[in-house]
Each structure stands twice: as C-alpha cells, then as structure tokens.
Amino acid sequence: MARRAQSRRTPVRTPQQARSRRTREEILKAAVACFESKGYDETTTAAIARKARIAVGTLYSYFADKRAILLELLATTTKEISDYVVQSLDPALWTNSNPRGSVRTLIDALFHTRRIQPGLQRILWERYFKDPLFRQAVELIEERVKDAMVRLFEALADQGKLRVRDFTTAAFVVHAAVEWTTSRVMLRGSEENLDSTVEAITDMVCRFLFHETPSDELAPRDNPARPAAVESPSPPVKEAQTEASTESESRLPFESSS
C-alpha cells in the first residue's frame, strides 16, 4: 500500500524517448483489451499493468489512474472519428454533385466511424452518462462536427440547393438523428439491415434539407418512382356486378328476372 501511495504521488511523466513512448502505447493497448473484455468498472490498474507486462508503479508514472487512461483513449478515438467526418463535410466535395449521393456518402462515413474500436466506443458511451468529464469531451467533438455542418449548409444555400434556413438547428437535428441511429447499431453489435437503414436515413435527411428533387433521386434503387396517378377503369367483374346490382334495384318487387 505504501509503495502504491508513493507511486501515485510520482509526477506523471511525459514520454520523451522512443522507449517511453512505446511503454505508453503498450499501456493504452493493454487498457483497451482489459476494458473491452472486463468492462471499465471491473478493470483495475493492476490488471492493465499485468497485460502490458510492466510494474504497477511504472504505470502510475504515466497515468494517475484508469480514468486518466480512458480519457486519453477517448481523446484519441473521438479525434479520429471527428477528423473522418469533418473531411466528409468539406463543401468542396459537395460542389456540382448530386445532393443525395453526397448525403449517402456522408451517412456511410458516419456508420464507418462506428467500426473504429467498437468495443471501446460502447464503454465510452456508457461513461458519457456517468462522468461529466467524459460528457464534456464528447460534446466538444460534437460541436466541431456540427460547426462543419453549418459551414457546409451555408455553401449549399449559396448554391440555391438548401430548403432550410436555420443552419444551426438543422445541424443539430441531422447530427442527433444520425448519431443516435449509428450509436444504436454500434451498441447492438450487429450490422443486420445496415444497407436499408443507411438508405432510409439518407432519404430522411434529403427530404429535410433540400428543395424538392426529382423523385428518381430520392426513391430507393429497388423501388422506382411512382408514375402520375391516372384514372383506371374498374375490373370487368366488378362492372358486371355493379350493372347486375343496378338492374336488380330498378325492378319492382313483383318483377322477376327472366
């Protein structure tokens, strides 16, 4: 216990040499494995140290506790995710492009981010509701993504493509809808019906954001656009039944059909 207390008081080192950086990376790698296999609450710093094949005291010279380790993993993972999404929101990529195709590409990108360390993401999602510091870190990343959406919407509005006018609210609505859906897929741990889910969200976002577009752009590929309604004649059987009913109703009660 005294040794551990002394280790906790040791200032956390910033790795300068290649060996120190490798040790830090091994600790983070071991922590991911422990968090994913045992969960955050059941994982101890001693377990992480054993997995990394280092002494517990050595671990404490890099990180104050397991929470500090998870926060660093959060920063790394969310930055990787947000970088990927923000690049997809670059207005230059949307210039002179089919709006629906661009939205589909963006939705695919958002779903792709859920394949980045999905086990760790499930743990981070859990801590989001339990730890204010985790929630603050996630919300900062979300603001970065929504700011990129607003810049994209401004560019699309200048091209006359956008239906909505409140870009900040639109960014919140689109981000919340897509984020919740992708998170549910990630938490479920299955990609069943993924293509149809992406297709449905793409249609929803397009109808919300853009002016009315040709129906063949919005209709699913296996469901061609419905043609204009035309008046069709009633089936012959139904017509015969209607005529027979009319004739029957026109006879007097004492008349018979001959």
Q: What confidence tier does 150 reach under pLDDT thresholds 50, 70, 90?
A: very high
Whether the per-residue pLDDT at 205 is higher than 80: the answer is yes
Is 220 a residue whose pLDDT tops 60?
no
Q: Which of 11-15, 38-42, 82-86 has the lowest mean pLDDT?
A: 11-15
All domains in the chain, ordered by first residue: 1-64 (1.10.10.60), 66-218 (1.10.357.10)
Buried b (16+ CB within 10 A) or exposed e, 143-179: ebbbebbebbbebbeeeebbebeebeebbeebbeebe
Which residue has tokens 């120190």?
Answer: 20
pLDDT at position 249 is 47
Q: Encode pLDDT of 173-191 as tens digits.
A: 999 998 888 878 767 766 6
Instruction: Check residues 94 and 112 and name the one with the higher pLDDT.
Output: 94
Name the average pLDDT for the chain: 78
Examine the pLDDT at 171 and tell me if it is beyond 90.
yes
Average pLDDT over residues 126-144: 88
pLDDT tops 80 at residue 12: no
